[in-house]
Amino acid sequence: MGQREIAERMVEVWKRLASAEFDLLCCAAELDDPHEIALLLRIPLGRARRLQEQAAALDRLPVLAGLMRDGLLDLDRFEVVRKLTENLDSAKARRVDARLVGAAELNSKELTVEVGRLVCLVDPLGEESRHVKAVRRSEVRYVSKPDGMAELTAYLDAVQARSIFDQINADAGTLDDDRSWGEKQADVFVDRMLGSGRPVTVRTDVTVSVQTLLGLTADPGYIAGVGYVDANLAREIAGQGDWRKVLTDEVGMPIGVGRKRYRPPKALRDFVMVRDRVCQAPGCLRPVAECQIDHARGFASGGETDERNLGPFCDVHHCLKTIGRYRFTRGADGIQRWITPLGFEYKARARAIAEPGPP
Ligand SMILES: [Zn+2]
């Protein structure tokens, strides 16, 4: 196949993708529960909720929806317009949409400029009320990244964000050394937030195997809310003394208290927290410190207070389970099952900290 044929084929595939994305949104529009969508498609809950918002926007933006159905506009560009028009009422959003018959010819940056212009045109006096609505969605987000890094993003009032950014750059400009510009920016940001030279006082829970702590193996350690880190970093943090517990499956499993009491004793709670480390619902990585330890089979229905029947659940999943629409079981084989209201079953196994030894 020559370059020309491959190029034409590429456009055909791109159109099929766009049209399939339209079909996907139509399905998302019919499903009520974002948790089901997240599990079905193996996407984070936030992404599932966004799919539903995008699906709901098909009605507000009928011209763009038609372009997507015909394979002429992809979901990324549809999303650009949806975001830029989300603070308009439906009638004004439709007026913007009606002027976008040529949207297929624009890339996402051109579309951003054009839609910005149209929003000012159809809603010239609405800037303040759009801003008030947008401010309500302000937030700071944390996303784990590989190699011991993370991304902190803030959605802020533009003037405040610009002031912070200018301040960071001004501080970084006073540093005269051979670090990269980005490294200097990051350092002054951390200094401003946590105070220069002061020790970090946030408690870090690190789970690391005894063998790794002793230097016998190099299994990765696990930091709540961060993820896996290499053995050296895990040892270093554990050595700082602000960690809580060192346990692996082979060490000191506490004994359950069966039906004698509802509240698990502290040793049992600690064991469950170190064993599971995150919420037990499939796909959820909320750290155990933000979860409650809960009975898989409710105590009132005969569930026992032991390590098999206990697991951490974040507020969202605890609520889904308690109102009974989702069911959770942990079998004797250690395999956990999460059964959704639509009857789909998802399995998850407890995550090991120590790598299994040689057979
Ligand atoms: Zn959860």
User: Nearest-CA neighbor of 326 among 277, 274, 279, 264?
Assistant: 279
| Average pLDDT score over residue span 255-275 | 69
Same domain, 41 and 97: yes
**For the chain, first and last CA: distance in Å?**
50
What is the whole-number distance in angstroms between the Cα of residue 5 and the centre of ligand 1? Answer: 48
Please indicate, yes or no, if residue 127 is contained in any of the structural domains.
yes
Q: 298 vs 16, which has greater pLDDT?
A: 16
What is the whole-number distance in angstroms between the Cα of residue 74 and the centre of ligand 1? Answer: 31
The confidence band for 250, taking pLDDT boundaries of 50, 70 and 90, is very low
What average pLDDT does the structure give for the chain?
84
Same domain, 91 and 170: no
Q: Find which of 70-74, 122-126, 186-190 is predicted with most confidence, using mean pLDDT.
A: 70-74
The confidence band for 341, taking pLDDT boundaries of 50, 70 and 90, is very high
Residue type, 108: S
Residue 274 belongs to domain spanning: 266-349
Yes or no: say if 335 and 341 are a contact pair by the CB < 8 Å rule.
Answer: no
| Average pLDDT score over residue span 310-321 | 88
**Total structural domains within the chain:** 4
Same domain, 126 and 150: no
Mutual angle of helices 75-85 and 108-122, in 10-degree steps: 30
Percent of residues, the chain, with pLDDT higher than 90 = 48
Same domain, 167 and 215: no
Same domain, 213 and 272: no
What is the whole-number distance in angstroms between the Cα of residue 276 and the centre of ligand 1? Answer: 12
The confidence band for 248, taking pLDDT boundaries of 50, 70 and 90, is very low
Which pLDDT does position 234 carry in this prediction? Answer: 74
Please indicate, yes or no, if residue 358 is contained in any of the structural domains.
no
Please indicate, yes or no, if residue 356 is contained in any of the structural domains.
no
What secondary structure letter does DSSP report for 103? G
For 193, counting Cβ atoms within 10 Å of its Cβ (0-12 exposed, 13-18 middle, 19+ buried), the class is exposed
Same domain, 53 and 151: no
Same domain, 32 and 102: yes
The tens digit of pLDDT for each residue in 109-128 reads: 999 999 999 999 999 888 88
pTM for the model stands at 0.71
Residues around the ion ligand 1 (C-beta < 5 A): 279, 281, 284, 286, 314, 317
Same domain, 112 and 54: yes
The tens digit of pLDDT for each residue in 279-289 reads: 888 888 888 88
What is the whole-number distance in angstroms between the Cα of residue 273 and the centre of ligand 1? Answer: 14
